[in-house]
Structure formats: C-alpha cells, structure tokens
Amino acid sequence: MSQVSNLKSQIKFLDLGLIDYKECWDLQERIFNETVSDKLALRDGLSQKIPEHHLIFCEHPHVITLGKSGKMENLVANNEMLKQKGVSFYKINRGGDITYHGPGQIIGYPILDLDQFFTDIHKFMRFLEETMIRMLAEYGIEAGRIKGATGVWLDPENPFKARKICAFGIRCSRWVTMHGWALNVNSDLDFFELIVPCGISDKKVTSMQKELGRKLDMEEVKGKLKKHFAELFEAELVQSEKKELLERIV
C-alpha cells in the first residue's frame, strides 16, 4: 500500500440517525466485505481501486449485544424482562463482552483499511479512546484509561469512583476494522442494570448528561468527535449519503 501512504486519507462520513441494530450491522458487513475485496484485488493486480474508508454515526433502539469473548451470565435480565422493556439481543462478531446501546448514545463505526494508516491495532484503539478524551475535555470532563480495561473512564485512578463513559468493541480482519464505540451522552442509564457492563461488576457507568447535570446537544458533540477523530487519523471526513452507499454496495 506504499502508493497511498503519503496521501492524506479521505474518510466517508455517514450519520444514519436512529437505525435498527441488525440493519446497521448488515450494512457494516457489506462495507467491510467490499473493502476487503478491494484490498485483495489491488494486491493481486486485478484492480487499481484503492480501498475506501468509512465512519458511521448512529443511534440504536434499545439493544444488548454480546461479543465473541462475552459470557451469557453477564446478561442479568431474562427474555421476559427484555421483551417487557423492548430490548433486543444479539450475539455478534466483535471483540469484548456485553454492552447496551440505546437512544442518547453516539455510536461510531469506523470501517478503515489500517494498511493506509498503520498496522497496529493497539494504536488504533488508543486513537479511538483519545478521540473521546479530547472531546470530553472540551466540556470540562477529565477522562482517562484503566490499564487492562478498554474504554474511557472518569476517575480512572480511584477504584471506588471509576465509571465508564464510553465502551469499545471492534473486529479487525486483513487490517480492516468494523464495529467501534458507544458513547453515553444523554443515555438512560437504567438500562445498564439489565447487564454486567463489559463483564466488569465492580464499576459503574455514567453519561455526559449525568456528569454535567444537563442534556447535551447531540449534533454539537458529534461535531467535536468528528474534529478530533480527523485530527488523530490525519484524515479528511467527506460527507456521504446512505442512498449512494446502498446503491453502490451489493
């Protein structure tokens, strides 16, 4: 991929708004598969098309997802409880344990060909975390990391007060990524009582709304996230449209 290494990357940005989890997962898979196919065709000299990058923002109706390394016992609620609260459940192909998605979160799904950035999955994860940390600092929220516990935390040095504000879980194959983060902005934190979040029983979750005592403007937060993401990855975010994407990806 040396022929593109010196170019500033363009990342196609798409905000899907509120979208069913399975519908968005299927869309991610289609983009992911196209990216991998383009990489292989370029490698084998069958095409000159350079794989594209995408960043999807969305919110999901109430849903709980269990990653590849997750344990079912971390799902506290039974099927009847989930049905009563209108919560869907999926076992999925990302890393990590169990988490909740719902309205008031900003979900981010970066589908990037890391061969065009850096082939270091740990650096990729740190960049995602750093995007959150820098954005939160703009609101006066000091956040950081806990060694051995992926995510962005408040009071990370205090085991009795540490609380997670952003969870991460990704998949990476052939250096192409999918899945991503769930940032609690105006989230209803009561839904986290249905699970042991990320399989960590001795720490709480929080949201920007809870920490600041006021509801946040979601579009404003998204704008700050996009700015820091683009800066860290030294990329330009280019607006994309869902219709255009669906017509192109089969």
Whichever domain contains 58, its CATH number is 3.30.930.10
**Strands 235-239 and 204-205, sheet pairing:** unpaired
| Dihedral pair phi/psi, residue 27, rounded to 5° | -65, -45
Structure tokens belonging to residue 15: 């905000």
Instruction: Compute the distance between CA of residue 143 and CA of residue 163 in angstroms, rounded to an integer.
Output: 10
**Strands 9-18 and 149-154, sheet pairing:** unpaired
CB atoms under 10 Å from CB of 156, counted, come to 20
At position 174, the amino acid (one-letter code) is R
Instruction: Find out whether 171 and 96 touch, Cβ atoms under 8 Å.
Output: no
pLDDT, residue 220, reads 98
Catalytic (active-site) positions: 198
Q: Which residues contact 69 (CB under 8 A, 6 or more apart)?
A: 95, 96, 97
> Total structural domains in the chain?
1
Range of the domain at 175: 2-248
Give kind and range of the element (H or E) at residue 135.
helix 121-137
Q: Please identify every stretch of the chain with a pLDDT value under 50, giving residue numbers as ranges.
A: 1-7
Check residue 195 and report its DSSP letter. B
| Dihedral pair phi/psi, residue 186, rounded to 5° | -115, 40
